[in-house]
Amino acid sequence: MGKLHDRMQEDLQLVGYQPSTQKNYLRCAKNFVAYFMRPPTELGREEVREFLLTLTDRPSAQKSHLAAIKFLYTQTLLRPEEVAGIPWPKTRQKLPDILSLTEVFALFEAVEKTMHRAVIMTAYGAGLRISEACSLCMKDIDSDRGLIHLHNGKGGRDRYVVLSSVLLECLREHWRIMKPKGPYLFEGPRAGHHIAPKPIREALKRAAKEVGISKRVTPHVLRHSFATHLLEDGTDIRTIQSMLGHRSISSTTRYTRVSETHVAAVRSPLDKMPTPSRKARAPKRRG
């Protein structure tokens, strides 16, 4: 895309999108241009529709490409009419996999490296996205108040999350062993950079295999499990929303659909139906 690539990147920076979002939008726009082998200035509504139709069997990819193309035409090319009215694809709302506490604790024990275990325990113990856990700075840890201060999270929002006493001890042990020199709590191999999410995902995958967990296990599954476990312990949904950094409460209420405790506590209306045993126990009317 040449100069247009640079212009779109500048527009994304002006809007304030996260670097990962910028990278994803630019990648999707590049895929769109590569499909037709023509500059986007020569493409319009029909080409956008044709390209999106090639992604109908991949709804998530279709949605991310549409977001990027809409930004390209609306903000960078200033031709919003080319993407106006193109509907957002509907994606299947699947319930997330949830690990039990026993499974979570078994994963911790199976992780080999101290730093990897500390990152994974942080991701679960505070309900963080893996990128948030990896990029924590030492100044973000408020041990006196029992809080972690997340800066510039998804959507550019700051928030506070809980710092458990167990996690604090884990982080102190990590610091004693690794003695990080820079601002980041979990330093990567490159000086001045934090650890990347990839080795954490790989360590978690190896640990899941070792303990024999057949469920899909990823850092985000730990985040889902954290939220569900909080809900089952009686934490109110608004507090969970705040800790997870969800903009909409609807993103948080889905955990009520996967909480075994909440589902098991519901009484089915069918239980009100008279049965032979209940009829036998019922007191007889006196004439």
255 catalytic? Reply is yes
Neighbours of 287 (CB within 10 A): 3
58 catalytic? Reply is no
Three-state DSSP at 92 gives coil
Neighbours of 277 (CB within 10 A): 8
**Residue among 42, 34, 37, 40 nearest 72 (CA):** 40
Q: Which of 149, 201, 220, 254 is the catalytic position?
A: 220
53 burial via Cβ count (<10 Å: 0-12, 13-18, 19+) = exposed
Distance from C-alpha of 221 to C-alpha of 215, rounded to nearest angstrom: 10
Q: Which of 17, 25, 73, 255 is the catalytic position?
A: 255
Distance from C-alpha of 47 to C-alpha of 53, rounded to nearest angstrom: 10
Tokens of 32: 């769109």
272 catalytic? Reply is no
> For helices 114-125 and 197-211, what crossing angle results, to 10°?
90
Handedness of CA 81, 36, 14, 86 (dihedral sign): positive
Q: Which of 70, 223, 224, 229 is the catalytic position?
A: 223
Cα radius of gyration (the chain): 25
Q: Which of 116, 117, 129, 194 is the catalytic position?
A: 129
220 catalytic? Reply is yes
Distance from C-alpha of 274 to C-alpha of 46, rounded to nearest angstrom: 62
Q: Which of 5, 154, 159, 254 is the catalytic position?
A: 154
Question: C-alpha distances in angstroms, 168 versus 122, 149, 240, 279?
Answer: 9, 14, 20, 57
Q: Which of 70, 174, 224, 246 is the catalytic position?
A: 246
Residues forming the active site: 129, 154, 220, 223, 246, 255
